[in-house]
A and B are shown apart, each in its own frame.
Chain A
């Protein structure tokens, strides 16, 4: 299971990377592995608001559907359209294939986010 050190993680299995006032969000390796073959990702439109702990989309596999929870408050400024044509790219590399970029409203509350080590520990406990 991979979890790059450069990213922050949520227990709902999204990763987020904060770059100035821009947050890039995707799902983790653990998430894609437990979902199995990703077949469709429903994403918001540019200009939509995202709210912390509220879902901004859904990821579907052959046998499952899972809500995507936003780690931050902000406005969607970019959506990774390429996923639409190739949802399998999420299975191939979930960290390169981000889902949305959000412009932050305020300095984000990162206190509940996990670093890579803590997230991997959380996943291990989850499996046990």
Chain B
């Protein structure tokens, strides 16, 4: 990776242009001066090659899935098929205005077929694709839960969330108007049943679970838990962040979940895009489908229609119909995989267990059960040199590997969460294992080398405290003395 530090603003030279627009014969209209800003917004004045070089050089400071292995736990960093980009860019898909409602059957068919396939895969009755991301899906799913309780006038207000859950779970529950009751986890991250029964009172509206949980362990007692929640008149929410190892193997709907979201950017390989756009469809069981947000895409006698005014729904949660340009890629992914979908789950689980077993003699494995698609080490096995998980992660950068997720879940102090997705080969994984072992050896033989890593990246460890104490968030703030 090459160092590249300039700002596009610094390349600006008055008069340069990187765009071209034709001359038009329209009369020039001058708006009332009262409405106009006094100065034009200062934007770069550069020519086309400047723009290309600036952003191409910028890209070289990044690590992508085609750069190397990306075993980032909980993020499912699998290969993103190239063909998806061409499909999404076809003018019939990228060039249609969202308020065009006739001559769009091809688009509505994609929406309808994708939601049908997602229902098949997850055991739900119906999905909305309107929600933009995983956290957005959680919020919408919890609004559906609230709407159901309101419709049945249960008066229930509490949502149970395990302490090992993703932070979005409790945050989404609060935004949806619930209060949160934290559940204790067992050592392997599964629900502590004693604590669960102690907290399962008449005010509990539902529970949010990730299964396999954030330690990659399948919740063995899931049927007992869902029975108990349903008996109390509550609902089960499935956080689909960890759906990858269940594809085609077992369905959340069959486990008793009533509402769920899927992170299409994870399991269905629409790319992560450096943090978005994602897509977080929400699926529900049959009697909850009436509450899914509007607009709703409906089948008609001769095609499809967009229903904007469906009564009884939770309301509108997006301007239009979600991230069409993203979920079209998930649709393509399902078509390409077809009957191989189950192999995604099988090989993801195989890869994870293989890495786990290959490294457990040098990294501390707190739980011995078979994992699903990911697992968590509690740092190095030998902690006598005080080399932390952060140090290990930073040292991996020197070897050109993207580090695993660190310090999540909060159950172990030195959590190091590894997810070697199904699209990685045994050879690549063996290379990763080798590097992990080398780092463990270095931690023993030359701990300072690891504690001060990385050494070879374009920037080294950052002063995050100063960044947060005295925020510099714009180029203009940076220019100020």
Contact = CB atoms under 8 A, between A and B. Distances in A.
| Complex A–B touching at CB under 8 A | yes
Interface of A: 37, 39-40, 60, 62-63, 87-88
Nearest to B465: A37
B451 to A, nearest CB: 17
B473 interface: no
Can you list the 8 inter-chain pairs with the closest CB atoms, starting with the nearest?
Answer: A37-B465, A39-B468, A39-B469, A62-B464, A87-B469, A62-B465, A62-B468, A39-B465
Contacts of B468: 37, 39-40, 60, 62
Contacts of A87: 469
Interface string B445-481: 0000000000000000000110011000000000000
A60 B464 CA distance: 13
Given A37-B465, A62-B464, A87-B469, 7 more contacts: A37-B469, A39-B465, A39-B468, A40-B468, A60-B468, A62-B465, A62-B468
A60, A62, A63, A88 interface centre (most CB from chain B within 10 Å): A62
Interface size range of chain B in the complex: under 10
Interface in B250-300: none
A62 B465 CA distance: 6
8 contacts: A37-B464, A39-B468, A39-B469, A40-B468, A60-B468, A62-B465, A88-B465, A88-B469
Contacts of A88: 465, 469
Contacts of A63: 407
Contacts of B469: 37, 39-40, 87-88
A63 B407 CA distance: 10
Contacts of B465: 37, 39, 62, 88
A88 B468 CA distance: 11
Contacts of A37: 464-465, 468-469
Nearest to B407: A63
A59 to B, nearest CB: 12
B117 to A, nearest CB: 40
A87 to B, nearest CB: 6
Interface in B396-445: 407
Contacts of A39: 465, 468-469
Nearest to A62: B464
A20 B468 CA distance: 38
A48 B120 CA distance: 56
B463 to A, nearest CB: 9
A88 B469 CA distance: 8
Nearest to B469: A39
Interface in B291-314: none
Interface in B362-398: none
A88 B470 CA distance: 11
A67 to B, nearest CB: 15
A99 B24 CA distance: 64
B161 to A, nearest CB: 18
Nearest to A60: B468
